[in-house]
Chains A and B, each alone.
Chain A
Amino acid sequence: MAAPLVLGILVAVTVRAVLYRSSLAGFISERVEVASPLNAWKRVVEGLALLDLGVSPYSGDVFHETPLIIYLFHFLIEYSELVFMITDVLTAVALYLAVQDFNKVVFKKQKLLMELDQYASDVAELIRTPMEMHYIPLKVALFYLLNPYTVMSCVAKSTCAINNTVIAFFILTTIKGSTLLSAIFLALATYQSLYPLTLFAPALLYLLQRQFIPVKLKSKGFWLYTTQYAALYLCSLMVIVCLSFFLLNSWDFIPSVYGFILSVPDLTPNIGLFWYFFAEMFEHFSLFFVCVFQINVFFYTIPLAVKLKEHPIFFLFVQLAIISIFKSYPTVGDVALYMAFLPLWSHLYRFLRNIFILSCVLIACSLLFPVLWHLWIYAGSANSNFYYAITLTFNVGQILLISDYFYAFLRREYYLTHGLYLTRKDGTEAMLVLK
């Protein structure tokens, strides 16, 4: 199993190395879809230059990365290409190991439920077999490594790749069941881009499940463990933030990174939903709407946590997708991370309704982004509405994709307990209808 992974990694590294040397690298790193104001490499270089001059890197309005990243590249600037390739490979390997472990868990759980006779009698074809699960880790890793989105984001040296690595390690440690490491990586991910904060809920649910602690508000064990995990998380977050403070000896980075993420002052077009609205809006309404837009990321966590209490990893996947859709400066690198998980849910394929149309929509939008950008910025014949229309379509496509997967997941669970062939009261074949 390791050999194909190594082969995949070699191919991926070769593709990236070739692209770094080609003339496309400059073009890709300028694309707004790939590099956002938060994670563009140009800005990191600018921050480094300021740091070398002995000025606070946050003193201009250009640099918005965290202090740890800038100190990382302070030492590794010469090897930046290598760093980005290695982070991608690390992400893929972490995802590979995580999914491998998760598959075992899933299989064990399925066996247990079968022995307990929880499943209906005629669901044999829904039961997952080791045969079909064997290649899933490899597929996940390759989906991440060879996804054009990942490749572009790596070639553009978008620091999004580093965030993805941190999140991948967080997932790995969570699935391995290490409370401490999971909390530390979650804190790192939060520190990096704030939004992974919402991943606290699925991680907690998974760890609880792993420790066989029931999720009941009255149980003592539940509260004990939650407090423990939360304390670990907050402590590590505090340590990291304080470390950043001591590195730069100022709190400048708090408004410059987190304030920048939350208040969305930079309205450069990107694949997200924010820029157009706030470019159009009167200044005095913008605070209210910023709140409304930001709530989107955090709001869905609660209903999802209730509904997917038993399936924290699927919850994690949906939450990752929601972050990448609703965050203030999304790039295709974020999209690539949750898309890597799609093979993990390949057993839902038979329940998906619109996968063909949606994948066509997503691919078409990805192609139309540069075309409409060209028409708007270079040719001057189109305008921002054209580009935003495609952004909107892309995001609607993503939302529909996620809801399709979500619904398919729920339907499969329903069939597992109620049997595949539903009958109505009068004996005819029944159908599940989503209202």
Chain B
Amino acid sequence: MGLLSDPYRRRALSRLILRLNTPLCILSYLAGLGWFLGLASLPFTLRSYMSENAMGSTMVEEQFVFGERALSYAREFAGHKKKVGGIPVAWLEKTMWNLGLEVYKQPFSRTLPFPDEMRERYMVKGTNVYGILRAPRAASTESLVLSVPCSTGQHNNQAVGLMLALASYFRGQIYWAKDIIFLVNEHDLIGMEAWLEAYHDVNVTEVLSSGMLGRAGAIQAAVSLELSSDVITSFDVAVEGLNGQLPNLDLVNLFYAFCQKNGLLCTIQGKLQRTDWDTLPAYVHSLQTLLLMVLKQGSGRPQGDHGLFLRYHIEAITVRGINSFRQYKYDMGTVGKTLEGMFRKLNNLLERLHQSYFFYLLPSLARFVSIGVYMPAFGFLILILVLKALDLWMKLSKCDAGPEEQLCDGDQGAVHAAAEESRPGLLTLVPPLLICHATGLTLYFLPVLGQHMATQHFPVSESEAVVLTVIAIYVAGLALPHNTHRVLTGCGSERGWMTLKLLSLLYLAMLLGCIALINFSLGFLLAVTMVPVAAIVQPKGPKYLYAVLLVLVTPAVTLLLSIVLYQELIEYPVSALECWQLFLQAVSEGLLDHYLYGSIVFPFIALFVYPCWLLLWNVLFWK
């Protein structure tokens, strides 16, 4: 407290902030960026370990031997799927029934807000089929889920086969203390959302489904399996869920532990970890893995069918079998053993997974970065905004007090804000704030509401109309300052833009702070781009340079650059045209994610970040 109440020290501190503002900001930015890049290196990461007692100390012996049966189920399923041209409900019901499961089906339907061109769907109708294996050792109070998406074409047939084989094997065992639900969901995430909503008897999105007849207990954990080949070379795990939510790290550890035990290769973000930890190429490799995770998490999209479970407080991961050109292949038996081991350990759980971390970044499967370690990187970036805001505040206070008026007791608290001066100053800020937020609201509501009108007047399809409207409104926002400065007459002073900038910096800091808690990656990606330019932007000096910089850091361009970076990282570079296609696709997917599953990225950008950015644009063109 001495620092805040002692006027001498305060004066020294405020002088420090005023004089060294720019160097401090630069230092802070470099520190933030450096810290983030350092996260992939050894000193910042911890070796992952199992925190949950019930899963750590007990041993299980896997005895799954139905590998061949899995393949025959898969072939049979493929045949029936082809015949029906969708999910073979009757066959699945019959097969599961014969295995001794309680079988239920759940029809659902959902009309999308606008047609999804990539997956070619608009009015979706489908059926989920699931069988419940009742636990012989306990009342049905808790359950586990093994889910498999029933995709179009030849995909995931082996996954269904393996699931059925596992079900038949599990049926014969006596040690189950939790019900196990074997779920085949149609139309991937839409089906999954319908099933989860019906299971929990809620309706948070507009999906229509019949009520659910059979339930097991509260779901403790879920594994979603994707497998499209008879043999696999490695397993890939996807952890990022809706809005960047992550499952408890113990579940990932569990997967990793069993892959180790069975000698399976396992990857995350499609990257195999390297054994040499302290070399430069290894560091670059784990940095790439980390960046991929940040980009995927930042998108707020579920990276697999598990992503929707997390919202219901259920820990879940997606496991994908990969068949690449490696020499050594694993058959269904090994894959089944791995899954069996995971389920047996989950079966041992005494309480929900809660011991380990929920906020982490993974530079590889064996090591992780916890929230306490990665948050400072973000903190340094926010510090820039705070420093700049303090600087502006002190300057504003000074020009209030006037140069000749000596401060009565020396500290900067002696601010003489005459009511007549400050009131119009504050009132002039209202129109830009209102206009920017109105633009944000338009950006949020108009594209989907106005799609029919757009298709009537322009030769475009609905989904094109939506995406193009979004882009049009976004770009039209740039023209705003030229309109607002006419509304504001007589505010042409230094104070005006400084106050507006102060306001927008604080606004940005609070937005980024809030989103970084929910989705660190999104917050960090926005911060690392927007913060430096937000700090330097002003209506004086090289205006056009600032304008170019500001356009370069707008969320839309950040999205474009993220797509380029992502494509580079997965070693699948794209040309400019393809990149543009991907960008359009990403915009429409972002909207769909919001309307279908309740992702918050699009409303957050449209209603808050974009208006905040427009405020900065207003600062730049203040007259």
Contact = CB atoms under 8 A, between A and B. Distances in A.
A432 B409 contact: yes
B410 A429 contact: yes
B313 A421 contact: no
Given A354-B4, A371-B518, A375-B517, A381 B245 contact: yes
A304 interface: no
B8 interface: yes
Given A371-B517, A415-B408, A380 B7 contact: no
Nearest to B11: A431
A351 interface: yes
B405 to A, nearest CB: 9
A212 B411 CA distance: 38
Contacts of B518: 371, 374-375, 379
Contact of A382 (B311, B358, B513): B358
Nearest to B6: A433
The bracket for how many chain B residues form the interface is 20 to 34
B5 A434 contact: yes
Interface in A320-368: 346, 349-354, 356, 360, 363-364, 367-368
A135 interface: yes
A188 B104 CA distance: 61
A372 B10 CA distance: 33
B378 to A, nearest CB: 14
B510 interface: yes
B343 to A, nearest CB: 22
Contacts, number: 77
Contact of B4 (A351, A353, A408, A431): A353
Interface string B1-21: 000111110100000000000
Nearest to A354: B4
A144 B5 CA distance: 30
B513 A364 contact: yes
Nearest to A123: B408
Contacts of A433: 5-8
Given A372-B517, A431-B7, A432-B409, A135 B419 contact: yes
B415 interface: yes
B10 A353 contact: yes
Nearest to A374: B518
A378 B313 CA distance: 7
B425 to A, nearest CB: 15
A254 interface: no
B359 interface: yes
A80 to B, nearest CB: 28
B8 A381 contact: no
Most buried by B among A132, A421, A422, A434: A434
B284 interface: no
Given A371-B517, A431-B409, A379 B311 contact: yes
A420 interface: yes
A349 B4 contact: no
B408 A379 contact: no
Interface in B392-410: 393, 408-410
A375 B313 CA distance: 11
Contacts of B415: 349-350
Most buried by B among A381, A382, A431: A381
Interface string A255-284: 000000000000000000000000000000
B214 interface: no
Given A349-B417, A353-B4, A368 B506 contact: no
Given A371-B517, A371-B518, A433-B7, A353 B411 contact: yes
Most buried by A among B358, B393, B413, B517: B413
B246 interface: yes
A254 B219 CA distance: 44
A364 B245 contact: no
B543 interface: no
Given A350-B416, A380-B313, A371 B5 contact: no
A380 B309 CA distance: 12
Contacts of B313: 378-380
B408 A367 contact: no
B598 to A, nearest CB: 11
Contacts of B506: 360, 363
Contacts of A356: 390, 393
B426 interface: no
B478 interface: no
Interface in B1-43: 4-8, 10
B510 A363 contact: yes
B90 interface: no
A172 to B, nearest CB: 25
A380 B514 contact: no
Contacts of A434: 5-6
Contacts of A380: 313, 358
A298 B534 CA distance: 47
Contacts of A381: 245-246, 358-359
B359 A350 contact: no
Interface string B376-400: 0000000000000110010000000
Contacts of B389: 360
A431 B407 CA distance: 11
A132 B408 contact: no
Contacts of B449: none
A132 B419 contact: yes
A351 B513 contact: no
B259 to A, nearest CB: 25
A431 B410 contact: yes
Contacts of B574: none
Interface string A153-187: 00000000000000000000000000000000000
A415 B409 CA distance: 10
B414 interface: yes
Nearest to B516: A371
Contacts of B393: 356
A433 B10 CA distance: 11
Interface string A410-435: 00000100001110000001011110
Interface in A169-211: none
Contact of B513 (A346, A354, A368, A408): A368
Contacts of A353: 4-5, 10, 411, 413
Nearest to A364: B510
A12 B414 CA distance: 34
Interface in A39-55: none
Contacts of B416: 125, 350
A293 to B, nearest CB: 22
Contacts of B359: 381-382
Contacts of B414: 350-351
A371 B608 CA distance: 15
Interface in A376-401: 378-382
Nearest to A400: B4
Most buried by A among B393, B409, B518: B409
Most buried by B among A125, A353, A363: A353
A349 B417 CA distance: 8
A421 B408 contact: yes
Interface in B79-104: none
Interface string B410-433: 110111110100000000000000
A363 B221 CA distance: 38
A352 to B, nearest CB: 6
Given A371-B518, A381-B246, A422-B409, 17 more contacts: A132-B419, A346-B419, A351-B413, A353-B4, A353-B411, A354-B4, A356-B393, A364-B513, A368-B514, A372-B517, A375-B517, A379-B518, A381-B359, A382-B358, A382-B359, A407-B5, A434-B5
Interface of A: 125, 132, 135, 346, 349-354, 356, 360, 363-364, 367-368, 371-372, 374-375, 378-382, 407-408, 415, 420-422, 429, 431-434
7 contacts: A350-B413, A350-B414, A356-B393, A382-B517, A415-B408, A431-B7, A431-B410
Question: What 8 A-B pairs have minimum CB-CB distances, sorted nearest first?
Answer: A381-B358, A434-B5, A380-B313, A353-B413, A371-B514, A350-B414, A356-B393, A431-B7
